[in-house]
Amino acid sequence: MPGVGRAERVIVRFANWKKPAGGRESVEVVGFDPGSGLARPWNVPPGTMAALRLPDTVAVDALYLDKLGIAGVGQAVEIGDRRARVVALTSGIRSFTTSPYVFASYENALRYTGMEDGQCTYVLVRPVPGVSAEALRGAIAREVRDVDVFTREEFAGKTRHYWMFTTGAGMALLIAASLGLVVGGVVVAQTLYATTMDHLAEFGTLRAMGAPGGYIHRIIVIQAVAAALVGYGCGIVVSLFLVDLAAKGGASIVLPPSLAVGLFFLTVAMCVAAGLVSIRKVTTIDPAMVFRGA
């Protein structure tokens, strides 16, 4: 097909990993062509791709050594009751599920997963220079029937949508985030309201001296913004620490700059919105209370 620079079959399928000391572990085998560069693992030592061309060889992530019951490179195991030898360790390739990724050549993956020659899970296609991914996707969709065709960004978005909105794990995260936002807003509103009540006499004095409502409103908004800055500063420091800590664990946390900036404005907006409760109380205050000693 015009516009196709390279196309490779890829296998992504679960298999049973037999631990040397006994027991089995479910793994997700990724079969690819080591020479094409498509679907290959990242963060791998030099020479790994050449080693994966050999029969019965695989690469696993160093994070899952204990989980898979192996000590390191060179150890022999069984995948799908077939012999496999670990020839390389990747770094930072985590699975969102509990099943680690195991990378192997396409031919080796066929044996480990029990698939027949010619079968595959996906076909990765790289466009030739000058052809956009969107244009190639449209051409494939028109020419090939009964297949789903996605660009890399579309497939990534579809995957995120699946895990976030159609699984229990994603919904639990969304509910927890929503509850955190609601509880945070209530706590901030209560704090600002209590602070305003403690200084109600001072606000009454300002009203008695003829201070306009806008001036008093600005004071409360500045208090809310100050609370947002302090809270965000503490929160982002803790978040960065957790991101660094998670890099050494099983679940990687990503905190891009755009998300950090978005959270900053969300925090400020939440605190200012919470301050509206205090603004309403100050607006209805009677300036005469100052002279009554209230």
Cβ contact 283:220 at 8 Å: no
Could you tell me if residue 61 is inside a domain?
yes
- Please give the span between the terminal C-alpha atoms of the chain, in angstroms, as a whole number: 85
Could you tell me if residue 222 is inside a domain?
yes
Residues 180 and 240 in one domain: yes
Tell me the pLDDT of the chain averaged across its residues. 83
Residues 119 and 12 in one domain: yes
Residues 24 and 100 in one domain: yes
CB neighbourhood size of 44 (10 A): 19
Could you tell me if residue 245 is inside a domain?
yes
Q: How many domains does the chain have?
A: 2
- Find the range with the poorest average confidence among 71-75, 186-190, 246-250, 262-266: 246-250
Residues 25 and 111 in one domain: yes
Could you tell me if residue 243 is inside a domain?
yes
Per-range mean pLDDT, top range of 203-207, 238-242, 246-250 = 238-242
What does DSSP say about strands 122-127 and 4-18: parallel, antiparallel, or unpaired? antiparallel
For residue 290 the two structure tokens come to: 């100052």
Residues 280 and 201 in one domain: yes
C-alpha pair distances (Å), 123 with each of 41, 100, 120, 129, 151: 16, 22, 7, 19, 12
pLDDT-based confidence at 12, cuts 50/70/90? very high
Which is it for the CA torsion 127, 129, 133, 136, positive or negative? negative
pLDDT-based confidence at 224, cuts 50/70/90? confident
Is the confidence at residue 294, as pLDDT, over 50?
no
Give the domain extent around 189: 176-292
Residues 25 and 118 in one domain: yes
Task: Report the alpha-carbon distance of residue 184 to residue 186 in Å, rounded.
Answer: 5
Task: Report the alpha-carbon distance of residue 67 to residue 19 in Å, rounded.
Answer: 9
Of 108, 124, 140, the domain-final residue: 124
- Mean pLDDT over residues 221-226, rounded? 86
CB neighbourhood size of 113 (10 A): 21
pTM, two decimal places: 0.73
Could you tell me if residue 223 is inside a domain?
yes
Of 103, 124, 145, the domain-final residue: 124
Is the confidence at residue 2, as pLDDT, over 80?
no
Could you tell me if residue 162 is inside a domain?
no
| Residue 13 phi, psi dihedral angles, 5° rounding | -155, 145
Of 82, 97, 124, the domain-final residue: 124
Could you tell me if residue 171 is inside a domain?
no
Could you tell me if residue 62 is inside a domain?
yes
